[in-house]
């Protein structure tokens, strides 16, 4: 189901009653929102836990708006008031914090054993949906721009945490095999910030983070942008903090099965980029655009 489909479905019965529908609605209406409402919407999707836990006063202060703006946003989206809108974020938090044991229990439903074939079928269906969505939305010009940025970098810094980490792990492997200089910003002794500080003026970053967004990933990628260095990112929303300062970014919303979210579309892009970068560097070398290292 596409974001537009989610919005249409949600509108048949009033405002969205789950986070995915709400997120899709906010993204669709971003361009037409008044400035302050868009500011709060961006904050809410970047900091959903804070919206769930906070008071109107504390959230307004953090988002740098008046508390009345929260009420205006809720009414703009069709809710009775801010507490009604906030309930969607609280429901999301409850779902997000389900343990793996609870997720397994929800799979079984009435207590019956779920067949292995049904499990793999569910995960394959989620993967297929994710890849199909990326195939229909990927902009070739955007892909070319990302490839150009990374191909022209002396060193590519790879930044991700938690669920996103497998993407840069694969990219590191592929870039290494292709002879492309890179640094994985990950260390067992906590010196990631110092690793980022070593980046030179001809370097670039590739960052990945999905809601609720890893704070370290955002901070390290932002440090590149503040120094005028390009950032290419994969994230899941126009309201993502990575989207704010990235030179080029890809919005990928992965489907899930029983609360277990796919990485299939993101991994497909992460697999393609190193090959595209290597091919672009060969072209640049033939044109004399890459200096001998």
Q: Residue 53 has what pLDDT?
A: 76
Cβ proximity of 52 and 82 under 8 Å: no
Residues pairing with 248 in the sheet = 232
Residue 4 has pLDDT above 90, yes or no: no
Sign of CA pseudo-dihedral 262, 265, 269, 272:
positive
Of 130-134, 211-215, 276-280, least confident by mean pLDDT is 211-215
Query: Is there a domain that residue 271 lies in?
Result: yes
Structural domain span for residue 57 = 3-96
Query: Is there a domain that residue 104 lies in?
Result: no
0.85 exceeded by the pTM? no
Query: Is there a domain that residue 205 lies in?
Result: yes
Domain count along the chain = 2
Distance, in Å, from the CA atom of 147 to the CA atom of 278, rounded to the nearest integer, reads: 9
Cβ proximity of 163 and 212 under 8 Å: no
Of 21-30, 85-94, 210-219, least confident by mean pLDDT is 85-94
pLDDT in tens, 220-240: 999 999 999 999 999 987 778
- Residues of the chain with pLDDT > 90, as a percent, come to 49
Query: Is there a domain that residue 16 lies in?
Result: yes
pLDDT in tens, 13-34: 688 888 888 988 998 888 899 9
Query: Is there a domain that residue 102 lies in?
Result: no
Is residue 205 located within the same domain as residue 271? yes
191: which DSSP letter? -
Residue 144 has pLDDT above 90, yes or no: yes
Q: Residue 8 has what pLDDT?
A: 41
Q: Chain-wide mean pLDDT for the chain?
A: 85
Query: Is there a domain that residue 31 lies in?
Result: yes
Query: Is there a domain that residue 17 lies in?
Result: yes
Of 100-109, 156-165, 221-230, least confident by mean pLDDT is 100-109
Residue 170 has pLDDT above 90, yes or no: yes
Is residue 138 located within the same domain as residue 280? yes
Mean pLDDT throughout 86-105?
68
User: In degrees to the nearest 10, what's the CA dihedral of 4, 26, 42, 59?
Assistant: -150
Is residue 186 located within the same domain as residue 263? yes
Mean pLDDT throughout 171-194?
91
Is residue 160 located within the same domain as residue 20? no
Is residue 156 located within the same domain as residue 281? yes
Distance, in Å, from the CA atom of 189 to the CA atom of 238, rounded to the nearest integer, reads: 33
Mean pLDDT throughout 153-159?
96
Q: Residue 9 has what pLDDT?
A: 41
Is residue 85 located within the same domain as residue 134? no
96, 121, 145: which is the final residue of a domain? Answer: 96
Q: Residue 145 has what pLDDT?
A: 96
Distance, in Å, from the CA atom of 252 to the CA atom of 269, rounded to the nearest integer, reads: 10
Regarding beta strands 204-208 and 156-160, do their DSSP bridges make them parallel or antiparallel, or are they unpaired? parallel
Kindly report the CATH number assigned to the domain that includes residue 241: 3.40.50.10490
CA 81 to chain centre: 28
Is residue 179 located within the same domain as residue 266? yes
C-alpha angle 208-119-135 in degrees, rounded to nearest 5: 40
Distance, in Å, from the CA atom of 216 to the CA atom of 193, rounded to the nearest integer, reads: 9
Is residue 276 located within the same domain as residue 203? yes
Kindly report the CATH number assigned to the domain that includes residue 32: 1.10.10.10
Query: Is there a domain that residue 121 lies in?
Result: no
Q: Residue 97 has what pLDDT?
A: 53
């Amino acid at each position: 189901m596409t974001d537009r489909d989610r919005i249409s479905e949600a509108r048949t019965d009033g405002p969205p009653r789950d986070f995915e529908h709400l997120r899709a609605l906010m993204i669709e209406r971003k361009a037409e929102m008044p400035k302050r409402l868009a500011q709060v919407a961006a904050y809410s999707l970047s900091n959903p836990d804070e919206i769930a836990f906070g008071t109107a006063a504390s959230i307004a202060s953090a988002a740098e708006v008046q508390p009345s703006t929260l009420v205006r946003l809720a009414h703009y989206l069709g809710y009775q008031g801010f507490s009604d809108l906030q309930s969607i974020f609280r429901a999301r938090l409850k779902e997000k914090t389900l343990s793996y044991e609870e997720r397994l229990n929800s799979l079984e439903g009435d207590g019956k054993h779920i067949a292995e074939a049904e499990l793999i079928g569910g995960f394959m269906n989620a993967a297929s949906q994710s890849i199909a969505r990326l195939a229909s939305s990927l902009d070739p010009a955007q892909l070319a721009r990302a490839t150009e940025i990374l191909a022209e970098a002396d060193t590519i810094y790879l930044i991700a945490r938690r669920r996103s980490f497998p993407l840069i792990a694969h990219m590191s492997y592929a870039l290494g095999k292709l002879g492309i200089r890179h640094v994985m910003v990950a260390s067992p002794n906590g010196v990631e910030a110092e690793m980022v500080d070593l980046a030179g003026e001809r370097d670039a970053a590739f960052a990945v983070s999905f809601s609720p967004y890893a704070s370290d990933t955002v901070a390290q990628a932002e440090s590149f942008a503040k120094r005028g260095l390009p950032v290419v990112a994969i994230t899941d929303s126009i309201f993502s903090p990575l989207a704010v300062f990235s030179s080029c970014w890809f919005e990928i919303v992965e489907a899930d099965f029983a609360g277990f979210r796919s990485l299939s579309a993101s991994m497909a892009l992460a697999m393609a980029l190193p090959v595209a970068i290597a091919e672009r560097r060969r072209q640049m070398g033939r044109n004399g655009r890459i200096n001998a290292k």
